[in-house]
């Protein structure tokens, strides 16, 4: 029987399996403040080193969910389905996908986050739209889902407060990479939001949070298992993030590209990934007879986007701010663009002001990078390949340093990488 936190730490340190009583003792104690940060950090490190069994992790995730409220979406009048991405460079899929799936007849309750480091955050992007607000009450979320069919907003403090505290702690204790803690953090919030089904977009490649395919697949399998253990129909796609997705990387730049895509003129790679995820979401939602490609092409998804932005106080017709300064990166030689390293581009955009190092940092609405050429394109010497956007021209130098090895040009085009690599169910 767990009588103090040391019993819990010792059990996991020595490779044991935490029982339900130990898990609930820790989660409730840490949420309420009776377990100290250093003790929680010790347990997180023990989990990183010792892992967790599937049943143990399911119990841990359930305790995280029950530390706060769980939304009841039974009254929205549509099948509910959501999507979560592990993050990447230029990944504005949610901006297109959420209104698209809603236009197909589902309700999409997307509680999203902010970016950290070289990967962007959906809320940061949407906040580039004048007037748009991320913080909604539970009542506003449910009402908007019933009226519009989609909401993209921040998770309120009442959802998974234990995860809110643990997430911040993991960030400063080198335990972010623990697969059980990543999986339970993502899935506890998604399950607590009340969706009936979920599609996971797990990125692999240089720009991904977990670049290694084997590790990413293990995370996908773990999250799918957690979803099924909590009666949420869950599927994962492993998708490529070796090059930026689309052409725009940066908050306002990505919003503009998302709107272009909703108008039918988006980049082919962004459209392909979006439609692949949409088809999975619609299948889980039981909407088998709807073709998302047709809904994207005929403007219905754009109409839902406009309604969603207006419902959250934004003006979808307002012009987006643009950066004061631009700098082009040109091809040093002629040939084919064989590689455009996503991590290098992401770090450069971050250094330009599009990302943050700490959660409390501000981000620029206008900073970022536009990829004028993508892998496989033929280029001439001196031709612009990238265009950097910044509010302060002094930021170009550190951004260019991050791009030093990001652009690779050769005499022949490289073999194209598949965008959808694997399905996990």
User: What are φ and ψ of residue 167, in 5° steps?
Assistant: -60, -45
Q: Is 185 a catalytic residue?
A: yes
- CA-closest candidate to residue 63, choices 184, 183, 182: 184
- Determine which one of 118, 170, 217, 247 is catalytic: 170
**205 token code pair:** 């490649």
Q: To 5 degrees, how large is the angle CA 93–CA 113–CA 156?
A: 130
Of the candidates 185, 197, 206, 364, the residue annotated as catalytic is: 185
- Supply 358's token pair: 């700490």
Query: Is residue 170 flagged as an active site residue?
Result: yes
Rounded to whole angstroms, the Cα distance separating 133 from 6 reads: 43
Strand stretches in 313-361, DSSP E = 325-330, 335-340
| Beta carbons of 71 and 159 less than 8 angstroms apart | yes
Classify strands 197-204 and 81-85 as parallel, antiparallel or unpaired.
Answer: parallel
- Which residue has 């990001």 as its token pair? 406
Active site residue 84: yes
Kindly list the distances between the CA atom of residue 404 and the CA atoms of 10, 330, 332, 399, in Å, as whole numbers in the listed order. Answer: 47, 12, 12, 9
Residue 194's CB is within 10 A of a number of other CB atoms, namely: 23
CB 269 within 8 A of CB 275: no
Catalytic residue list contains 374: no
- Is 189 among the residues known to form the active site? yes
Return d(Cα 118, Cα 407) in angstroms, integer.
Answer: 17
Q: Chain-centre distance of CA 142, in angstroms?
A: 22
The catalytically annotated residue of 163, 242, 269, 341 is 163
CA distance 22 to 246: 46
Instruction: Find the catalytic residue in 12, 84, 92, 165.
Output: 84
Q: Of 12, 24, 62, 189, which is the active-site residue?
A: 189
Please tell me the distance from the alpha carbon of residue 146 to that of residue 313, in angstroms, as a whole number: 17
How does DSSP classify residue 365?
S
Active site positions, annotated: 84, 163, 170, 185, 189
């Amino acid at each position: 029987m767990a009588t103090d936190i040391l019993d819990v730490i010792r059990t996991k340190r020595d490779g044991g399996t935490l029982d339900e009583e130990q898990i609930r003792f820790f989660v409730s104690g840490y949420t309420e403040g009776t377990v100290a940060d250093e003790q929680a950090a010790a347990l997180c490190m023990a989990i990183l080193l010792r892992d967790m069994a599937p049943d143990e992790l399911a119990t841990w995730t359930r305790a995280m969910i029950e530390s706060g409220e769980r939304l009841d979406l039974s009254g929205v009048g549509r099948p509910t389905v959501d999507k979560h991405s592990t993050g990447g460079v230029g990944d504005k899929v949610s901006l297109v996908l959420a209104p698209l799936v809603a236009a197909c007849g589902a309700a999409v309750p997307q509680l999203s986050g902010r970016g950290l480091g070289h990967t962007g955050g959906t809320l940061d992007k949407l906040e580039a739209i004048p007037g748009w607000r991320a913080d909604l009450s539970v009542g506003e979320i449910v009402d908007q889902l019933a009226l519009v069919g989609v909401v993209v907003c921040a998770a309120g403090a009442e959802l998974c407060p234990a995860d809110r505290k643990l997430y911040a702690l993991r960030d400063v204790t080198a335990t972010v990479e623990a697969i059980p803690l990543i999986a339970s953090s993502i899935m506890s919030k998604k399950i607590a939001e009340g969706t009936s089904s979920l599609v996971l977009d797990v990125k692999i490649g240089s720009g991904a949070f977990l670049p290694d395919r084997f590790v990413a697949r293990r995370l996908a399998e773990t999250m799918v298992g957690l979803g099924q253990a909590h009666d949420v129909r869950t599927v994962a796609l492993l998708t490529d993030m070796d090059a930026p997705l689309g052409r725009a990387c940066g908050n306002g730049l990505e919003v503009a590209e998302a709107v272009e895509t909703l108008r039918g003129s988006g980049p082919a790679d962004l459209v392909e990934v979006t439609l692949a995820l949409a088809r999975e979401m619609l299948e889980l939602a039981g909407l088998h007879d709807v073709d998302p490609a047709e809904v994207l092409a005929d403007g219905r998804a754009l109409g839902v986007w406009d309604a969603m932005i207006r419902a959250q106080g934004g003006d979808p017709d307002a012009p987006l701010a643009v950066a004061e300064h631009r700098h082009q990166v040109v091809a040093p030689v002629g040939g084919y663009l064989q590689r455009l390293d996503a991590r290098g581009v992401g770090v450069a955009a971050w250094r330009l002001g599009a990302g943050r190092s700490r959660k409390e940092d501000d981000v620029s609405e206008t900073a970022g990078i536009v990829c004028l050429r993508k892998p496989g394109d033929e280029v001439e010497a001196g031709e612009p390949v990238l265009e950097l956007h910044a509010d302060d021209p002094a930021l170009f130098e550190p951004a260019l340093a991050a791009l030093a090895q990001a652009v690779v040009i050769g005499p022949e085009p490289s073999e194209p990488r598949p965008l959808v690599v694997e399905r996990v169910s």
